[in-house]
Amino acid sequence: MKKSMMELVREAKEIDLSLEAMGGEIDESMEVVIYQNRLDLKTKADSCAFFHEHLEAVIASWKKRKEEAAQGLAVAQRKLERYEAYLKESLRGIGGEISGDYMLLKVKPTKGNLLTPNKELIPMQYKKEIITREWEIDNKAIKEDLALGIPVPGAELKINHSLTIKPHNGSK
């Protein structure tokens, strides 16, 4: 049965504790256990790294598909807009309505969209005052204080860990 990375690491820690308890004395059976654990850890490390690379490739593939889908969506939306403009123009040319066996096409004026390209020219009677009070958090200052051990109510510094996976040059 294949062991997980966690199981192999736990086993390696147990081996280290056993070695300490034995005063560093290694008998032949312990030597075999140590050798097998180290071999299993090396194999598992390579396996985990290859699976990690696989997942990164899958993500890259999905991102590319997402970009292609976004481009396809934009093309379809432009086609629809042009087609609707064509239909509206055509229908206005024949009185605004045409009926087929199954569908009715009709164009009529809307209530209109308000355009205010130059807000400076709008009289004051059409303006209303908006009062907002927004605060921006100074993340840099908070992070610096927390790193120095100065407590900041409502904030905490969460330490993360980075993962590095890279091929090595063959040295062990």
**What is the per-residue DSSP string for 92-148?**
HHTTSEEE-SS-EEE----S-----S-GGGS-GGG------------HHHHHHHHHT
pLDDT on residue 145: 92
45 CA to centre of own chain: 25
Evaluate whether 57 touches 64 at the Cβ level (below 8 Å): no
pLDDT on residue 170: 62
What does the domain layout of the chain look like in residue ranges?
Answer: 5-131
Phi/psi of residue 158, each to 5°?
A: -95, 120
10-residue mean pLDDT profile of the chain (172 residues): values are 91 91 86 94 94 96 97 97 92 89 89 86 88 88 91 88 72 52
pLDDT on residue 171: 52
Nearest-angstrom CA–CA distance, 76 and 167: 44
Q: Which two tokens stand for residue 16?
A: 């280290």
Evaluate whether 34 touches 15 at the Cβ level (below 8 Å): yes
pLDDT on residue 26: 86
Task: For the beta carbon of residue 8, count every other beta carbon within 10 angstroms.
Answer: 19
pLDDT on residue 108: 87
pLDDT on residue 33: 92
